[in-house]
Protein backbone atom coordinates (compact mmCIF):
# COMPACT_ATOMS: atom_id res chain seq x y z
CA UNK A 1 0.00 0.00 0.00
CA UNK A 2 1.33 3.41 -0.92
CA UNK A 3 0.57 6.62 0.84
CA UNK A 4 -0.55 9.84 -0.75
CA UNK A 5 -0.73 13.38 0.42
CA UNK A 6 -3.98 15.15 1.18
CA UNK A 7 -3.49 17.34 -1.91
CA UNK A 8 -3.11 14.25 -4.11
CA UNK A 9 -6.19 12.67 -2.54
CA UNK A 10 -8.27 15.81 -3.13
CA UNK A 11 -7.10 15.91 -6.73
CA UNK A 12 -8.20 12.32 -7.28
CA UNK A 13 -11.48 12.69 -5.35
CA UNK A 14 -12.67 16.29 -5.61
CA UNK A 15 -15.51 17.34 -3.36
CA UNK A 16 -18.36 18.87 -5.29
CA UNK A 17 -19.67 21.83 -3.37
CA UNK A 18 -23.38 22.29 -3.66
CA UNK A 19 -24.91 25.64 -2.98
CA UNK A 20 -27.07 25.44 0.10
CA UNK A 21 -30.62 26.51 -0.58
CA UNK A 22 -32.18 28.73 2.03
CA UNK A 23 -35.72 28.18 3.23
CA UNK A 24 -36.84 31.48 1.66
CA UNK A 25 -35.72 30.58 -1.89
CA UNK A 26 -38.08 27.76 -2.65
CA UNK A 27 -41.64 27.03 -1.71
CA UNK A 28 -41.61 27.59 2.00
CA UNK A 29 -43.97 25.75 4.29
CA UNK A 30 -45.67 27.97 6.88
CA UNK A 31 -44.55 27.45 10.46
CA UNK A 32 -46.86 26.23 13.20
CA UNK A 33 -47.23 29.80 14.47
CA UNK A 34 -48.12 31.08 11.01
CA UNK A 35 -50.76 28.36 10.58
CA UNK A 36 -52.31 29.18 13.97
CA UNK A 37 -52.31 32.93 13.26
CA UNK A 38 -53.94 32.38 9.86
CA UNK A 39 -56.69 30.39 11.61
CA UNK A 40 -57.17 33.14 14.23
CA UNK A 41 -57.31 35.88 11.58
CA UNK A 42 -59.90 33.94 9.55
CA UNK A 43 -61.99 33.36 12.70
CA UNK A 44 -61.94 37.11 13.39
CA UNK A 45 -62.72 37.87 9.72
CA UNK A 46 -59.54 39.87 9.28
CA UNK A 47 -58.44 39.74 5.66
CA UNK A 48 -54.77 39.06 5.05
CA UNK A 49 -52.22 37.89 2.56
CA UNK A 50 -49.48 35.46 3.56
CA UNK A 51 -45.89 35.69 2.32
CA UNK A 52 -46.51 39.26 1.14
CA UNK A 53 -43.67 40.71 -0.91
CA UNK A 54 -43.65 44.29 0.30
CA UNK A 55 -40.46 45.52 -1.36
CA UNK A 56 -40.18 45.87 -5.14
CA UNK A 57 -36.40 45.58 -5.43
CA UNK A 58 -35.56 43.16 -2.63
CA UNK A 59 -37.05 39.69 -2.23
CA UNK A 60 -38.24 40.51 1.26
CA UNK A 61 -41.53 39.05 2.33
CA UNK A 62 -43.58 39.54 5.45
CA UNK A 63 -45.32 36.53 6.96
CA UNK A 64 -48.63 38.44 6.81
CA UNK A 65 -49.98 41.67 5.40
CA UNK A 66 -53.32 42.84 6.76
CA UNK A 67 -55.03 43.86 3.52
CA UNK A 68 -56.21 47.43 3.23
CA UNK A 69 -53.70 48.59 5.86
CA UNK A 70 -49.99 49.27 6.17
CA UNK A 71 -49.61 46.54 8.82
CA UNK A 72 -47.13 43.68 8.37
CA UNK A 73 -46.98 40.75 10.79
CA UNK A 74 -43.94 38.59 11.50
CA UNK A 75 -44.09 35.34 13.46
CA UNK A 76 -40.56 34.91 14.75
CA UNK A 77 -39.35 31.34 14.96
CA UNK A 78 -36.32 29.80 16.59
CA UNK A 79 -36.21 32.28 19.44
CA UNK A 80 -35.13 29.73 22.06
CA UNK A 81 -33.43 27.23 19.78
CA UNK A 82 -30.78 29.57 18.43
CA UNK A 83 -32.58 29.87 15.10
CA UNK A 84 -31.87 32.27 12.26
CA UNK A 85 -33.59 35.24 13.90
CA UNK A 86 -31.32 35.19 16.95
CA UNK A 87 -27.95 34.63 15.29
CA UNK A 88 -25.84 37.60 14.20
CA UNK A 89 -26.26 37.57 10.42
CA UNK A 90 -29.97 36.72 10.56
CA UNK A 91 -30.64 39.31 13.24
CA UNK A 92 -28.90 42.04 11.23
CA UNK A 93 -30.80 40.98 8.10
CA UNK A 94 -34.09 41.22 9.98
CA UNK A 95 -33.21 44.72 11.21
CA UNK A 96 -32.52 45.84 7.65
CA UNK A 97 -35.81 44.34 6.46
CA UNK A 98 -37.91 45.82 9.27
CA UNK A 99 -36.31 49.25 8.93
CA UNK A 100 -36.99 49.24 5.18
CA UNK A 101 -40.63 48.36 5.86
CA UNK A 102 -40.89 51.23 8.38
CA UNK A 103 -39.36 53.68 5.88
CA UNK A 104 -42.03 52.56 3.40
CA UNK A 105 -44.73 53.48 5.93
CA UNK A 106 -45.50 50.00 7.25
CA UNK A 107 -45.97 49.13 10.90
CA UNK A 108 -44.35 45.77 11.65
CA UNK A 109 -45.81 43.72 14.49
CA UNK A 110 -43.62 40.84 15.66
CA UNK A 111 -44.83 37.85 17.66
CA UNK A 112 -43.38 34.61 18.95
CA UNK A 113 -45.17 31.33 18.30
CA UNK A 114 -46.14 31.22 21.99
CA UNK A 115 -47.75 34.67 21.71
CA UNK A 116 -49.69 33.54 18.64
CA UNK A 117 -50.91 30.34 20.34
CA UNK A 118 -52.01 32.23 23.46
CA UNK A 119 -54.21 34.57 21.40
CA UNK A 120 -52.18 37.65 22.32
CA UNK A 121 -51.15 38.25 18.70
CA UNK A 122 -54.65 38.34 17.27
CA UNK A 123 -55.84 40.55 20.17
CA UNK A 124 -53.11 43.09 19.47
CA UNK A 125 -53.74 42.93 15.73
CA UNK A 126 -57.43 43.63 16.33
CA UNK A 127 -56.53 46.64 18.50
CA UNK A 128 -54.10 47.89 15.87
CA UNK A 129 -56.68 47.58 13.10
CA UNK A 130 -59.23 49.40 15.25
CA UNK A 131 -56.79 52.26 15.81
CA UNK A 132 -55.78 52.24 12.15
CA UNK A 133 -59.40 52.46 11.00
CA UNK A 134 -60.17 55.24 13.52
CA UNK A 135 -57.25 57.29 12.18
CA UNK A 136 -58.29 56.79 8.56
CA UNK A 137 -61.93 57.77 9.22
CA UNK A 138 -60.90 61.28 10.23
In a domain, 78, yes or no: yes
**123 in Cβ contact with 131 (< 8 Å):** no
Quick one: pLDDT at residue 138? 42
Looking at the structure of the chain, the number of domains it has is: 1
DSSP-derived letter for residue 55 is: -
Please state, rounded to an integer, the average pLDDT across all residues of the chain. Answer: 83
Task: Quick: pLDDT tens for 28-78.
Answer: 788 889 999 999 999 999 999 999 999 988 889 999 999 999 999 999 876
In a domain, 88, yes or no: yes
In a domain, 20, yes or no: no
Q: At what angle do helices 32-43 and 120-137 cross, to 10 degrees?
A: 50
Spatial CA neighbour of 109 closest among 118, 121, 119, 120: 121
In a domain, 10, yes or no: no
In a domain, 29, yes or no: no
CA–CA dist 7, 10 (Å, integer): 5
Domain interval for residue 122: 41-132
Quick one: pLDDT at residue 93? 87
In a domain, 36, yes or no: no
Quick one: pLDDT at residue 1? 59
In a domain, 73, yes or no: yes
In a domain, 108, yes or no: yes
Range among 20-34, 103-117, 120-134 rated most confident: 103-117
Task: Quick: pLDDT tens for 74-96.
Answer: 998 766 666 666 667 778 888 99
Label the pairing between strands 107-112 and 61-66: unpaired
| Range 109-129 average pLDDT | 95
Instruction: Tell me the residue length of the chain.
Output: 138
CATH code of 82's domain: 3.40.960.10
Amino acid sequence: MTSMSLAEYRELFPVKKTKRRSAKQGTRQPSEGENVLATHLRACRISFEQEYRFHTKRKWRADFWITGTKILIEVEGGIWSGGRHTRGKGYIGDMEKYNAAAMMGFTVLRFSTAQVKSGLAVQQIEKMIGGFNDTNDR
